[in-house]
Structure 1
Amino acid sequence: MFVPREATILHADLDAFYASVEQRDDPRLRGRPVLVGGGVVLAASYEARAHGVAGGMGGAEARRRCPGAVVVPPRWEAYVEASRAVFAVFERTAPVVEGLSIDEAFLDVGGMARSVGTPTRIALRLRDEVRAAAGLPITVGVATTKSLAKVASALAKPDGLMVVPPECELALLHGLRVERLWGVGPVTARRLARHGIERVGQLAGLGEVRIAAMLGPAAGRSLHALAWNRDPRPVRARRRRRTFGAQSALGPRARSAEELDTVLVGLADRVTRRMRAAGRAGRTVVLRLRFADYSRATRSRTLPRPTAASGAVLAAARALLDEARPLVAARGLTLLGVAVANLDGEEGAAQLTLPLDPPAPPGIDAALDAVRDRFGPRSATRASLAGADPGLAMWLAPRRRGR
């Protein structure tokens, strides 16, 4: 088996991300057990984790285990802003960055030793720069494969660094519990424990055929390879998305034309805001319909030029919905969706200059975006949405942007 001579893959993972942002922004929370989210724990600080609290746990159980915990509501805009600052550091650090979520990524620093420094020095500098740019602790694992780098960062938490030399990989890996392997959750771990398998070394010694007999062929191949640190997957930059879309489930009640238009306005606004935030424009507007008999239909219209303007996308979506009125009347509509495809950078698409972007002046969209970015996604909405049915209130303003 070929083993690279140097560990050049970094797995960088922010520590208790949401909770850390809350502690960063409110000095009164530092050093105290913090739970983000009341009904279900979205994140727990390490002070809370010491009491057995974990993300995904019910709020009542979390408070029972940690009576002194401070519960705070999530602040999505703050988390997105912090993530952007951290990913900007990632992009400055390595030529190839593969984001896994809002708070973690793989970085490939191969070939940078002469110009920048060893992977260890790069990892140390990355941690310092994240602390300086975002004020957050981050843990980094360094190894020859993605799977082992992720294992290393988990072992080094919180606020740590672990570099696994190639010659030490299997000794480290085989001494760990099987739960440390990527893809081994509680159910798989229990199934392996019933066969007396608790350590990765025991799993590696079984062979692929026996593991497959216990867990199935796909799991057998995957876990046997990971137990021997065979993970050929390269770090890949995230592909540019090919569509932007949003949809709304309407429920069984029939909706009036005015109600459907309200939903359509909200969908178009949400989709185009995400496009503008990503710096993308598209030519093809797609309307997605689901009917009461569970059948589906799509309608599309290609515009002369790419656009990210809410008005242009809304006008096309309205025209498509008008064309589909007979189907809606006959079958009943239970879901409505809007998507924009044929994005700039793809074949047949071209960048649009703003003065040619009808029918809404781009300044309106830009002004709304600026207000929402500063004061939150529900701080401003379009007048056409202001009197919407409370049952459609989710569309009064765009939802938060994700990862």
Structure 2
Amino acid sequence: MASSENSGAGDDAQATETEETDETLKYRLLGPSLTKAGQSAVDQRKVSEIIYNVSRGSKFFTHEKSRNQLLTTKIERIISQKQKIEEHGLLLHTRRTDQYLAELELGRDLSQTVVHIDCDAFFAAVEELDRPELRELPMAVGKGVLTTCNYHARKYGCRSGMAGFIAKKLCPDLILIPQNYQKYTAKADEIRAILACYDPQFQSSSLDEAYLNITAYCSANEIEPEEAVRRLRSEVVEKTKVSISGGIAPNARLAKICSNWNKPNGQHYVPNERSAIMKFMSAIPLRNINGVGRVFERELDAIGIKYCRDIFTHRGLILPLFGEKCYRFLMQCYLGLGRTKIQPIEESERKSVGTERTFRDTGNVADLQEKLQLTALELEKDMLRTQFKGRTLVLKVKLHTFEVLSRQMLLPKAVYLSEDLYRYALPMLVKLYKETPNLKIRLMGLRCTNLVSMKNTDVNFFRGIQTSNGRPQSSSRIKSPEEEGLGILDGQDIHDQPRDPDSMIEDWEHSHVPYGSIAGSHTLNPLFKSDPTLEMWVSDLHGPAAARQFDFQSTLRFLPVKTND
């Protein structure tokens, strides 16, 4: 009888553990955009239940479930470590933290006024200018993955980074509009021209966001910060027909939080007073702070830190549990500190320039080469816009299983042209293909690091580079990585600010066309018509005879021939 009772108790415990795991997984499936404006009135439990049921059985679901279990295991270790630390006493760590907080307090700067500007549902708002009837309907931009939702769609739980088919389950009447980045960029340029009147050194953090320091503007015009931002927002709406929201605070971190406070088409102000800052930050959930995602949120919540005020309560645990970097970050968050120096991104100490794109799963050699070309072309645009060249090139791919892999290469010279980026990236893609059986990719990205400024050179419209004395720089043939003795280095996933939101993406199911059968025909950019590196790739994979049957002149067409050469 006792044995039966023990067995029943064990079953109950296992059932409870399964329920807890499901709950954490459902929360994880809500995605990284949970704190976006327009979500506060949504029944997130209902939304998570729908996402859970719709995605169940997909590769995405399997991947997220695996990652959730790994995080759960990690949290169990954190809790165990926490207990050991508490047994030994927290006095030394607490004293050190109090000293560090006092040092930070001495450096508090309340002399500046920083503004964070965020366009309201920007892509959707631009589309609504061309189609005004969409303003009263639930609408989102994007097909496979949503990039932006209007506020009517957000009432149903739809959000950026969500798979289109899941959004349709949440809102069957949702209208999906294809992206038009050329249109969004043109509208962003109109807005930036207005921002420059308030701070010529404003910093664009993305297409629809910017930081400004309006201290000088307010002083010169004898105007209060709140009135200055109202004037700015009114001018943007009048001239561009797009509404923006603003956050006003003594530093960039606070301004970023404030801009999300009264969305859409609103603003929030935290005065330059220590008491006002501490009161404001006290009630802020950690997840609402830029830099705290769903993983770190769960780790902190496991030891009792949910709001900023909890940081002080548990300050003696943070350093031994999470390390120096997280410790310093959280202490600054608790005090409401942040940077006050605002400058154009190209003038700041930028670490990298990158781009990436999501597409349907493919393992087709022609498709992969075309995706790499397009990604290289996009990266060149970003390099020209930011005026940087890169000495290190990083290739990132996300597999159809949602596993992320990356490779990086040290280059012999700093580059920015798409043909250079493509030729150096291709061997890294080859290496991944050879190392990964049945490779299928759903996302590809390129990033340049180890940046070199192009400020001392002129880039002309013909994409040539002239030195400061006006003489053209010679453009010698780009040697293959093997000729130049370059090594392709294995790398971990390179994380950058929210360009890859670890989104929920539709689990596309379609057949893989194996190499050696017709892989389709794709028109190529003329820059890539003659490609010895690609020919080397095909030869390496399928033999020289197969490579000879590749048509490199106008289309990329792999003929259905398999030889033993």
What TM-score comes out, normalization by structure 2 length? 0.49
1:221 aligns with 2:328: yes
Tell me how far apart the structure 2 counterparts of residues 218 and 301 of structure 1 sit (CA, whole Å): 30
The one of 134, 140, 151 equivalent to 2:240 is 134
* Residue of structure 2 equivalent to 1:159: 265
**Aligned in 2, Cα 1:288/1:191: closer, same or farther, shift over 3 Å?**
closer
1:125-164 deviation per Cα after TM superposition (whole angstroms, max 9, x unaligned): 1111221232111110000111111111111211111111
**Aligned in 2, Cα 1:357/1:221: closer, same or farther, shift over 3 Å?**
closer
* Residue of structure 1 equivalent to 2:131: 26
**Residue type matched to 1:69 in 2?**
L
Secondary structure of the structure 2 residue equivalent to 1:22? helix
Identity %: 23
Structure 1 residue 268: Cα displacement: 9.5
**Residue type matched to 2:336 in 1?**
N
* Residue of structure 2 equivalent to 1:174: 282
Is the 8 Å Cα contact of residues 42 and 55 (structure 1) preserved in structure 2? Answer: yes
The one of 455, 463, 468 equivalent to 1:350 is 468
Is the 8 Å Cα contact of residues 18 and 36 (structure 1) preserved in structure 2? Answer: yes
Tell me how far apart the structure 1 counterparts of residues 207 and 294 of structure 2 sit (CA, whole Å): 24
Could you tell me which runs of 5 or more consecutive residues in structure 2 were left unpaired when the two chains were aligned: 1-104, 357-362, 396-406, 434-445, 459-465, 476-523, 530-551, 559-565
**Aligned in 2, Cα 1:295/1:82: closer, same or farther, shift over 3 Å?**
closer
Secondary structure of the structure 2 residue equivalent to 1:139? strand
**Residue type matched to 1:221 in 2?**
R
The one of 229, 232, 235 equivalent to 1:123 is 229
Structure 1 residue 358: Cα displacement: 10
Tell me how far apart the structure 2 counterparts of residues 243 and 7 of structure 1 sit (CA, whole Å): 28
**Aligned in 2, Cα 1:76/1:171: closer, same or farther, shift over 3 Å?**
same
Structure 1 residue 349: Cα displacement: 3.0
1:286-331 deviation per Cα after TM superposition (whole angstroms, max 9, x unaligned): 99899xxx996855699xxxxx9x9xx98xx7xxx9xx9xxx9xx9
1:98 aligns with 2:203: yes
Structure 1 residue 182: Cα displacement: 2.2
Tell me how far apart the structure 2 counterparts of residues 269 and 93 of structure 1 sit (CA, whole Å): 33
1:193 aligns with 2:334: no
**Aligned in 2, Cα 1:146/1:350: closer, same or farther, shift over 3 Å?**
same
Secondary structure of the structure 1 residue equivalent to 2:260? helix
Secondary structure of the structure 1 residue equivalent to 2:246? strand
Structure 1 residue 242: Cα displacement: 11
**Residue type matched to 1:156 in 2?**
N
**Aligned in 2, Cα 1:333/1:342: closer, same or farther, shift over 3 Å?**
farther
The one of 84, 95, 117 equivalent to 1:12 is 117
1:64 aligns with 2:169: yes
The one of 176, 183, 195 equivalent to 2:291 is 183
Is the 8 Å Cα contact of residues 243 and 342 (structure 1) preserved in structure 2? Answer: no
Structure 1 residue 210: Cα displacement: 1.6
Could you tell me which runs of 5 or more consecutive residues in structure 1 were left unpaired when the two chains were aligned: 255-259, 303-307, 360-379, 393-403
Tell me how far apart the structure 1 counterparts of residues 468 and 123 of structure 2 sit (CA, whole Å): 39
**Aligned in 2, Cα 1:382/1:129: closer, same or farther, shift over 3 Å?**
farther
The one of 254, 273, 286 equivalent to 1:148 is 254
Structure 1 residue 384: Cα displacement: 8.4
Is the 8 Å Cα contact of residues 7 and 164 (structure 1) preserved in structure 2? Answer: no
**Residue type matched to 1:227 in 2?**
Y
Larger displacement relative to structure 2 (81-90 or 263-272): 263-272
Secondary structure of the structure 1 residue equivalent to 2:331? helix
Structure 1 residue 253: Cα displacement: 7.0
The one of 129, 143, 152 equivalent to 1:47 is 152
1:234-273 deviation per Cα after TM superposition (whole angstroms, max 9, x unaligned): 22222258999999xxx9979xxxxx9x999999987877
**Residue type matched to 1:122 in 2?**
A
* Residue of structure 1 equivalent to 2:317: 210
Tell me how far apart the structure 2 counterparts of residues 113 and 31 of structure 1 sit (CA, whole Å): 37
CA RMSD of aligned residues (A): 4.8
Is the 8 Å Cα contact of residues 346 and 386 (structure 2) preserved in structure 1? Answer: no
Is the 8 Å Cα contact of residues 8 and 119 (structure 1) preserved in structure 2? Answer: yes
Is the 8 Å Cα contact of residues 289 and 297 (structure 1) preserved in structure 2? Answer: no
Secondary structure of the structure 2 residue equivalent to 1:224? helix
**Residue type matched to 1:151 in 2?**
I
**Residue type matched to 1:75 in 2?**
N
Tell me how far apart the structure 2 counterparts of residues 286 and 215 of structure 1 sit (CA, whole Å): 32
Tell me how far apart the structure 2 counterparts of residues 27 and 189 of structure 1 sit (CA, whole Å): 39
**Aligned in 2, Cα 1:140/1:299: closer, same or farther, shift over 3 Å?**
same
Tell me how far apart the structure 2 counterparts of residues 390 and 237 of structure 1 sit (CA, whole Å): 41
Secondary structure of the structure 2 residue equivalent to 1:170? helix
Tell me how far apart the structure 2 counterparts of residues 56 and 139 of structure 1 sit (CA, whole Å): 21
Tell me how far apart the structure 2 counterparts of residues 285 and 176 of structure 1 sit (CA, whole Å): 39
Is the 8 Å Cα contact of residues 98 and 236 (structure 1) preserved in structure 2? Answer: yes
1:77 aligns with 2:77: no
Is the 8 Å Cα contact of residues 112 and 213 (structure 2) preserved in structure 1? Answer: no
Tell me how far apart the structure 2 counterparts of residues 299 and 126 of structure 1 sit (CA, whole Å): 46
**Aligned in 2, Cα 1:271/1:153: closer, same or farther, shift over 3 Å?**
closer
**Residue type matched to 1:11 in 2?**
H
**Residue type matched to 1:125 in 2?**
R
**Aligned in 2, Cα 1:236/1:205: closer, same or farther, shift over 3 Å?**
farther
**Aligned in 2, Cα 1:269/1:388: closer, same or farther, shift over 3 Å?**
farther
**Aligned in 2, Cα 1:243/1:197: closer, same or farther, shift over 3 Å?**
closer
Secondary structure of the structure 2 residue equivalent to 1:182? coil
1:43-91 deviation per Cα after TM superposition (whole angstroms, max 9, x unaligned): 1111111111111111111111111211111111111111111111111
Secondary structure of the structure 2 residue equivalent to 1:159? coil
Secondary structure of the structure 1 residue equivalent to 2:215? coil
